[in-house]
Amino acid sequence: MYYWSYQLAGETSSRKALSYVTGWFWLIGNWTIALSVNFGFASLIAATISICNPDWTASEWQLLLVFYAICIFVFLVVALGDRMLPYIDAAAAIWNLVTIVAVLIALASTAKQGRHSASFALSNYETSFSGWGQGFTFFIGMVSLFALPQPELTPRSRTTPSSLRVQCHGYGDLYGRRMRES
Amino acid sequence: MGMVTSMAEECGNPEIEVPRALSYAVPLGSIAGLFFLLPICFTMPPLEKILDAPYGQALPYIISEVMGSQVGAVIIMVMILFVTLFCAISITTAAARCTWAFSRDNALPCSKIWSQTTAGRPLYALALVTVIEMLLGLVDLGSSSAFTAFVSVGVIALSAGYLVPITQSLWYRRQQVSKAQWTVGPIWGSIANAIAIVWILFQLILFSMPVAIPVTMTSMNYASVVFVGFTALSGIWYFISGRKRKLDPWLLRCSLKFL
């Protein structure tokens, strides 16, 4: 990213400073998105346990420990399984697809809370909870939507895992958003 | 998309592969996202209840309510947890590579350490990322709104990261871009750049807004504060050391021409 900034500026005096700034933005973004994904993962685990035991809630300390366990586990996977990463990526892409289909079938076939009409599902904007006006809520929704779609499917790049990495970005955003929205 | 760009260096034929992957990622991701979102939109329980979901995690709540069966919901959730695990692995890899690449250009404090590789792996950079994450995790114990700020600053920072090169490119009339192997032509390119800049600027403002008004001390969105703080710190570091050192993007030597 910062390299692009460096290149695109051509032969100008500002290129160094600008590429430095871009690099830092990029770095901070990556660090904090990684943080948000891992922490979102921890809260998802806790929330899954709560499905079985509605009475149990994780304390902040327990949540933090789950988060630490995830961090260390991911560290080990990335550190030791470096060569496996392309395969992990391929597995992730297939698994994503399977999961989308599973969610689709599971939700559509059970629908215990009733099914909504197409007009509700597609055009109902709930504005009453956030306090923002209608227009602004629309944009908040839109940003969430833009943040979401990236997760699942991306082309299988021939030589690299790169394109598959796309998926995480969206989840990070989603979880970040969810946590804020609550 | 961020991940595509972070991993660009490891592509076989990056001049072509990276832009192609980037341009496919958006429509394909959107379609897949719709398939994920629509069933939820059609079957979800009342919104008031979702907002009270434990840990602010709406998805497990929606799934267990809609399916009405614990076992089924847990199975689906475990599947989603694996998706998240894969995602965590990818993002951590990308963050580590990004840290490593940037420290190779002496842009980080103690760059010498982070730019080392062990058996071809950026282990120190990876360790740095993990430690930073774990330290930031501690913030949650102190103040959850401060922690949320750290979590949500990611989107802002990445958008800003995209903003700078796009603006530069347009500013210099796309001179460098037009030489690339993979282009969409000057007119479409300029239009796309302009839309991107406007959208990112809008997004930056949007993500800095609190999600609900009236704002209280805890519901305030402190992401902008964290963002400015980080930027100021990096600026200070630049003046202490970065300016003196040679920030010569290492990649130049690889003579790659993206975009």
Interface pTM (ipTM) of the complex? Answer: 0.73
For B118, list phi and psi in degrees, rounded to 5. -115, 115
Segment B244-257 shows an average pLDDT of: 43
For residue B118, the cross-strand partners are B121
Q: Are B90 and A92 in contact (CB under 8 A)?
A: yes
Q: Which residue has the higher pLDDT, A159 or B118?
A: B118
Is the pLDDT assigned to residue A15 strictly greater than 60? yes
Instruction: Give me the residues paired with residue B121 across strands.
Output: B118
Average pLDDT score over chain A: 63
Residue A142 has pLDDT above 60, yes or no: no
B94: nearest CA partner in chain A: A30
Average pLDDT of the segment spanning B188-204: 77
The SS3 assignment for A115 reads coil
Residue B75 carries which side chain, given as an amino acid letter?
I
Nearest CB to B249: which of A3, A77, A108?
Answer: A3
Alpha-carbon span B101 to A3, nearest angstrom = 10
Shortest CA distance from B118: residue in chain A: A79
Judged by CB atoms closer than 8 Å, whether chains meet at B151 and A61 is answered as no
B4 contact residues in A (CB cutoff 8 A): 162-163, 165-166
Amino acid identity of residue A152, one-letter, is: E
Interface test with B, best of A13, A43, A78, A179 (most B CBs within 10 A): A78
- For residue A91, give how far its alpha carbon lies from the nearest alpha carbon of chain B (Å): 9
Is the CB of A151 less than 8 angstroms away from the CB of B29? Answer: yes
Categorize the per-residue pLDDT at A166 as very low, low, confident or very high, splitting at 50, 70 and 90. very low
User: Mean pLDDT, to the nearest integer, of A16-30?
Assistant: 78
Residue A161's pLDDT is 30
pLDDT tens for A29-83 read 888 888 888 888 888 888 888 777 777 777 778 888 888 999 999 888 888 877 7
Spatial distance between the Cα atoms of A45 and B59, rounded to a whole number of angstroms: 11
| Contact: B207, A143; criterion CB under 8 Å | yes
Q: Is the pLDDT at B257 greater than 50, yes or no?
A: no
Q: Please indicate whether residue B41 or residue A162 has the higher confidence score (pLDDT).
A: B41
Collect all residues of chain A within an 8 Å Cβ-Cβ radius of residue B90.
89, 92, 161, 164-165, 167-168
Facing A104 at nearest CB: one of B35, B161, B177 = B35
Of A121, A150, A111, the C-alpha closest to B42 is A121
